[in-house]
């Protein structure tokens, strides 16, 4: 999302009955935050899941009455100060 030096990226999925939770952790030595990169990663991960499971719910009108993506948010930000 931003042109910054990403030094780490981790994508985790938690699968529960009727729920898939995606968590993305991003680290950087850059001077700006990586919230947008993490939010973009979660959205892309969940869109991929949606595409892979949509056939399970598609109704006779071509819609998905129960499947949704919601509550994409930043859960925690840890700011590391640069040391000289």
Q: Which residues are catalytic?
A: 51
Beta bridge partners of 12: 23
Q: At a CB cut-off of 8 Å and minimum separation 6, what does 81 contact?
A: none
Q: For 18, left (φ over 0), alpha (ψ -120 to 50), or beta?
A: left
Give 44-68 as a DSSP string.
HHHHHHHHHHGGGT--TTS--SS--
């Amino acid at each position: 999302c931003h042109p910054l030096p990403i030094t780490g990226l981790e994508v985790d999925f938690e699968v529960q009955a009727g729920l898939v939770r995606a968590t993305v952790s991003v680290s950087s030595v850059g001077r700006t935050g990586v919230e947008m990169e993490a939010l973009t990663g979660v959205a892309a991960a969940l869109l991929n899941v949606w595409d892979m499971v949509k056939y399970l719910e598609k109704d006779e009108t071509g819609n998905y009455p129960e499947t949704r993506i919601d509550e994409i948010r930043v859960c925690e930000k840890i700011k590391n100060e640069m040391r000289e």
